[in-house]
Amino acid sequence: MHISPRLHVDKETPSTLSLSVVSHVFQMNKKRDLFEDIELYDEVTEIIPFSMGAPGPVALSECNAIMMEATAKALEDRSEDRYIFQYGPRQGDPKFRENLANFLCKEYEDSKISSDDLFVTAGATQGLHLVTTVMFDKDIPIFVEDPSYFIAIKILTKDLGMKVIPVSTDGGGIITEEFERLLLKERQENGVAENKKSPFTAMLYTMPTIHNPLGCSLSPERCKHLIRLARTYDILLFTEDVYNILYYHGKPPKRLLSYDERDDPQYKGNVLSNCTFSKILAPGMRLGWIEAGERIIKIVTESNVTWSGGCFNHYTSRLVSTALQMGLLSQHLKTLRKLYGDKMKFACDSLKKNLPETVKINPPDGGFFIWITFPETFDCAALAKLCASKYGLNFILGTSSSPTGSFKNCIRLSISYCEMNELKVGLDKLHAAINEQMKSTSAS
């Protein structure tokens, strides 16, 4: 059994050691959310969690009222009991998909979204797992941006054992010319692997809209280039679109899916949009959706894992369907945009004001994260240790977001969990820690 370093066992007898281990395991089992479970924070240790890409207490405070009202409405017709508590239809409840399509048409400002193109998932993580396991053999190459969402990299490599090929990015996202070069290189060296599960010969895991961690959105030119490559070489463009409607100024950024237009003679349906309610409602709901063309929706709907359980989160989708129909989520989204937008502006302004010009800040288009780039010689790992031990805060290292272990001089900050007062305190501490680390670096 692994014993946490927090467990003190010095000079204990075997019997008291056993009691200590039992007590420790009991304490572990009392963890009440994911972040306590992985020890990013607890009720005793005051850590400012700049690492957490999750809504904070204020963002979640409206969820109780939303779900109480939606649940009461959804359950008032007792004739629906036989459907709401039964295994759900494989693609998802038709009324939920209709209400979701209407919601997305409004929020994306795109009238072409159809309920037929929506498939219900248990969140974006489950959507990624479902697609990669149901649609791809393990020897099919999966291209991943460098940097990318750090846990997705671990899922693809460690959990699923997929063949992952990193693709370079710049300040505007994935470098599509580099993707094309690597794609052709892979084909020249290893040929085109036969995929028995779907018509796709490769997959690109990408975040073209409000990238995690870079915060940028892909230009129209690069989007069009990706579509041409996908159609030419039968590639699935798996877009992680979890922050699309958490934009803080102007109009919603155009999605990559919108560039794969159905009236094009070359249209096949090569883009899949993977989305979640975790960022716009509550992660505990474990509810999300896939949006894609007919041939992709058909494969995931007719998979055996979908057949076994039906809709992946049917009951919750029925409740959220009612919330969507009542307009509760649209109003909540306005609150979140204001809440996160204010925090993002404050954080970016503070960082720009207090950090030297050699430190580069990428103001994001939306979402939760700020990507900070230090000079090449700056030791971000040492900064992380200093912040944890002396200043009581944490963040994600750039190396964690890189499938190649690159970006040693970069960090990712999240503004989502901390409330404004805590954010201000945390940024002051971060500025002090960076200045201390820079002085230490220059002295050595």
DSSP assignment letter at 190:
H
- Is position 72 within any domain? no
Short-list 299, 315, 107, CA closest to 198: 299
Provide the H-helix boundaries in 380-419.
380-386
**Local confidence band at 362 (pLDDT 50, 70, 90 cut-offs):** confident
Asked if 22 and 110 sit in the same domain, the reply is no
**Considering the domain boundaries, does residue 86 fall inside one?**
yes
User: Of the candidates 310, 329, 348, which is a domain's last residue?
Assistant: 329
Q: Which domain holds residue 402?
A: 14-61+331-443
pLDDT digits (tens, 9 = 90+) for 232-264: 999 999 999 999 999 998 999 999 999 999 999
Give the whole-angstrom CA distance, residue 288 versus residue 302. 18
Residue 358: is its pLDDT beyond 90? Answer: yes
pLDDT above 80: residue 18 = no
Whether the CB-CB separation of 226 and 233 falls below 8 Å is answered with no
Q: Which of 38-42, 334-338, 362-366 is least confident?
A: 38-42
* pLDDT-derived band at 57, boundaries 50, 70, 90: very high
Tell me whether residue 6 is in a domain. Answer: no
Query: CA-to-CA distance for 289 and 284, rounded, in angstroms?
Result: 15
Last residue of a domain, one of 329, 364, 382: 329
Residues 342 and 323 in one domain: no
Would residue 69 count as lying in a domain? no
DSSP assignment string, 99-168: HHHHHHHHHHT-TT--GGGEEEESSHHHHHHHHHHHH--TTSEEEEEES--HHHHHIIIIIS--EEEEEE
> Residues 6 or more apart from 301 whose CB is under 8 A from it?
90, 91, 119
- Tell me: the pLDDT tens digits for 97-132? 999 999 999 999 998 999 999 999 999 999 999 999
Strand 163-170 vs strand 173-174: parallel, antiparallel, or unpaired? antiparallel
The letter for the amino acid at 345 is K
Three-class SS of residue 41?
Answer: coil
Task: Place 203 in a pLDDT band, splitting at 50, 70 and 90.
Answer: very high
In this prediction, residue 41 carries a pLDDT of: 61
**Confidence band of 16 (pLDDT split at 50, 70, 90):** very low
Please tell me whether residues 49 and 84 are part of one structural domain. no
For residues 152 and 50, membership in a common domain is answered with: no
Q: Are residues 125 and 28 in the same domain?
A: no
Q: Is residue 98 part of a domain?
A: yes
> Reading across the β-sheet that carries 360-362, which strands appear in turn?
360-362, 369-373, 410-414, 396-397
Q: Are residues 214 and 363 in the same domain?
A: no
The CA-based angle 204-258-231, given to 5 degrees, is 45
287 and 383 assigned to the same domain: no
Q: Count up the domains in the chain and report the number.
A: 2
Cα distance between residue 289 and residue 307, in whole Å: 17
Q: Looking at residues 224-238, what average pLDDT do you find? A: 98
Q: Give domain status of residue 178, yes or no.
A: yes
Note whether residue 68 is domain-resident: no
For residue 354, give the CATH number of its domain.
3.90.1150.10
Residue 243's nearest CA partner among 255, 230, 260 is 255
Q: What is the pLDDT of residues 386-442, one digit of tens each?
A: 999 999 999 999 999 999 999 999 999 999 999 999 999 999 999 999 999 998 877
86 vs 267: CA distance, rounded Å: 37
- Residue recorded with tokens 């109003």: 331
Domain contains 28: yes
Instruction: Mark residue 407 as left, alpha or beta (left: phi above 0; alpha: psi -120 to 50; beta: remaining).
Output: left
Q: At what angle do helices 314-325 and 94-108 cross, to 10 degrees?
A: 50
Q: 247 with 360, same domain?
A: no
- Cα separation of the two ends of the chain: 41
Q: Is there a single domain that holds both residue 261 and residue 338?
A: no
What CATH number does residue 83 fall under? 3.40.640.10
Q: Are residues 309 and 232 in the same domain?
A: yes
Residue 27 reports pLDDT greater than 80: no
Confidence of residue 2 (pLDDT cuts 50, 70, 90): very low
Tell which of 295, 310, 329 closes a domain. 329
Task: Dump pLDDT digits (tens) for 129-151.
Answer: 999 999 999 999 999 999 999 99
Residues 300 and 165 grouped into a single domain:
yes
Q: Are residues 345 and 207 in the same domain?
A: no
pTM given for the model:
0.92
For all residues of the chain together, what is the average pLDDT? Answer: 92
